[in-house]
Amino acid sequence: MGSELSTVLQLFMRSLETGSVYALAALGIVIVFRTSFVMHFAQGSMGMFSTFAVAYLLARLHIPLVTATLAGVLVAIVMGFLVDLLVVRRMRKASNVAKEIVTLGLIMIFLGLAPILFGSDPLLLPKFLNTGDILIGNAAISYNAILNIVMGLAITAVLFYVLQKTKMGLAVRTTASNEDTARLMGVPTRQVTLVAWALAGVLGLLSGVMIAPATTVTVSLMNPVQVNALFACVLGGFQTFYGPVLGAYIIGIVNNFLIYYVSSTWGGQIMYLLILIFLIIRPNGIVGKKLIKKV
């Protein structure tokens, strides 16, 4: 029984770790969605690009991991600014489909740029904490996993604090609730969207840096993160900031437990099927409200 419990614990911690990766990416998607009303399909690709930059600095220029990550944060911020200034800002009046397609175009640009700038060979990115486990019962949990979990939870907590308690958070929330009114009330909505895109970029980078040690850094590094973060947003609903985070952790937990207890080959499909069924039953997500359509 003891070993059973420690398996569950280990699975749970692993779920929290993957959940944290998805949560950060999903948070980026929802912040962009709420402030500039764009479905950010390129979140993963932008995260891939800045993670590639980190891995490149580390592997080719031998800059220490922490410094390289800070440089990556800078890259992510600049990228977010550029995307907002050059593309998103110029098409505020466009239809939703048009905006979605534009982020698809961004994906292609980043997919093409990454191998040109950083080479087409896969790069390795080490963990922040390379050694050490904590034993809880029989469950061994690495320091790095704990760091990732703490990082995920801490960053979401800080962001929620900023969103709820600070003046800047208030600006973001008013922009999200009604952009035109917010602008009329003196909220600098342009700065808000600029910050939102930069923030999404940084969150994408962090999720990339967290997931990279598990695989290699290639252009397809973030594909599963992008897909699962989107599902997390849908699961939690786009109407709140905490919904997608909740959805991300649920996906992490359900996925890991299905793979372990039900089927290692079909666990993923079963989860996607469950999400689909859930979507049909509750189209607006767990905490979502139905939007009333006016003619």
Instruction: Rule CB under 8 A: choose which of 223, 261, 262, 289 binds other proteins.
Output: 223
Q: At its nearest, how many Å lie between other proteins and the CB of residue 87? A: 6
Stretch of residues binding other proteins (CB under 8 A), selected from 51-59, 72-80, 139-147, 269-277? 269-277
Sign (positive/negative) of CA torsion 181, 182, 185, 188? negative
Binding mask 82-101 for other proteins (x = CB under 8 A): -----x-xxxxxxxxxxxxx
Q: Which residue, 227, 172, 195, is CA-closest to 76? A: 195
Sign (positive/negative) of CA torsion 273, 276, 280, 283? positive
* Contact flag: residue 292 with other proteins (CB under 8 A): no
Interface with other proteins (CB under 8 A), residue total 51
- Contact yes or no for 39/103 (Cβ under 8 A): yes
Instruction: Rule CB under 8 A: choose which of 48, 53, 75, 102 binds other proteins.
Output: 102
Question: What DSSP element (H or E) covers 78?
Answer: helix 65-86
Q: Which residue, 159, 77, 198, is CA-closest to 190? A: 198
Instruction: Rule CB under 8 A: choose which of 49, 52, 231, 249 binds other proteins.
Output: 231
- Please name the residue that has the structure tokens 């970029």: 201
- Please name the residue that has the structure tokens 């911020």: 77
* Contact flag: residue 107 with other proteins (CB under 8 A): yes
Q: At its nearest, how many Å lie between other proteins and the CB of residue 129? A: 32
In a 13 Å sphere around the CA of 284, the CA atoms on its Cβ side amount to 8
* Contact flag: residue 122 with other proteins (CB under 8 A): no
Q: Which parts of this chain interact with other proteins (CB under 8 A)?
A: 39, 87, 89-102, 104-116, 120, 223, 227, 230-231, 233-234, 238, 265-266, 268-269, 272-273, 275-276, 279-280, 283-284, 293, 295
